[in-house]
Amino acid sequence: MPLTLDLTDRVALVTGATGQLGRVMARTLAQAGAHVAVHYRGNETKARELCGELERLGRKAVAVQAEVANRDAVFAMRDAVKAALGDPHIVVANAVSQVHPWTTLLEEDPADYEDQFRSCVMQNVLLAKAFIPAMIARKGGRYIGINTECTMQLAPRQSAYTSGKRGMDAVLRVLAREVGEHQITVNQVAPGWTISDRDREKGTEVSESYSKNVPLRRRGTDQEIANVVAFLASDLASYVTGAYVPVCGGNVMPAV
């Protein structure tokens, strides 16, 4: 029989779904058959536009607002998703607070480290507490965190960002060990510097200074990231858990 990536009638939650990458992941999961809860923090208009797009694909969709580092907000989001679509089979933790411009550790505002801890670590702690129990009851589920190649690179000026993402990595690896017996997989996708619609609109897809160090000699696209997320969300990845999967053209390579 041919292999198929089929998410028909699965329910997926994508946090940060109104962002550049979030929109493509939500569309891709819907194209594979999933109904999608579109999380947003402030851009309700974009969330509702995306829901309309997914509904035109024949899927159910709901826009849900939450501050992902706030327990009450996350649990209220859980209740809203359940009421509209049912308990999610798939959670994609994609939302992230942007701290720019990056600067040196000696110059970085200490508040930026706290911000990244809330965005990267506490988001995943709270999402797990809110959504994993229903997966345990169902005896299966997919939890996917969006990390970054920067977590391995640890370049100058990245200390706030990578401290949050490294903390996220630890939380999700431990979670994978704790919930694996329930046939719940927990994985991370780590994009490189990704081409998005913003680049396509501005004509900034090409960066020789970045691509010359990438084995595939190019930047990846948002669709290429979303394809890996869809794979990890599917039954094709039923025996993959605890993985940190770089999708960066080989720019970073975890070693054994």
Which two three-digit tokens encode residue 147?
């990390």
Residue at 86 is within a domain: yes
Please tell me what DSSP assigns to residue 155.
-
List Cβ neighbours of 167 (8 Å cut-off, separation of 6 or more): 117, 120, 121
Q: Which two three-digit tokens encode residue 110?
A: 């200490």
- Known active-site residue 210: no
Q: Distance between alpha carbon 3 and the CA centroid of its chain, in Å?
A: 25
Per-residue confidence (pLDDT) for residue 64, from 0 to 100 = 98
Residue numbers of the domain that contains 71: 11-247
d(CA 30, CA 109): 39
| Helices marked H in the chain | 20-31, 44-56, 71-84, 110-116, 123-138, 150-153, 159-179, 197-202, 208-211, 222-233
5 falls within a domain: no
Query: Looking at 40, 113, 161, 239, which residue is catalytic?
Result: 161
Q: Is residue 30 part of a domain?
A: yes
Contact by Cβ (8 Å): 228, 189: yes
Give the pLDDT score at 233.
98
In the chain, the number of structural domains is: 1
Reference 192, options 173, 169, 216, 168; nearest CA is 216
The Cα 91–Cα 194 span in angstroms is: 21
pLDDT at 10: 98
Q: What is the pTM of this model?
A: 0.96
Give me the pLDDT at residue 100, please. 81
Phi, psi of 65 (to 5 degrees): -100, 140
Residue 236, pLDDT score: 97
Within a domain: 255: no
Residue 2 included in any domain: no
Phi, psi of 72 (to 5 degrees): -60, -40
Q: What is the CATH number of the domain that holds 196?
A: 3.40.50.720
In a domain, residue 4? The reply is no
For 235, phi then psi, to 5°, come to -70, -20
Give the three-state DSSP class for 87: coil
Q: What is the mean pLDDT of each run of 10 residues along the chain (256 residues)?
A: 89 97 98 98 97 98 98 98 98 93 95 97 98 98 98 96 98 98 98 96 95 97 98 98 98 94
Would 254 be classed as within a structural domain? no
Q: b/e per residue, 74-86, with b = 16+ CB within 10 A?
A: beebbebbbeebe
Q: What is the pLDDT of residue 99?
A: 85
Asked whether residue 57 is domain-assigned, the answer is yes
- Which pLDDT belongs to residue 147? 98
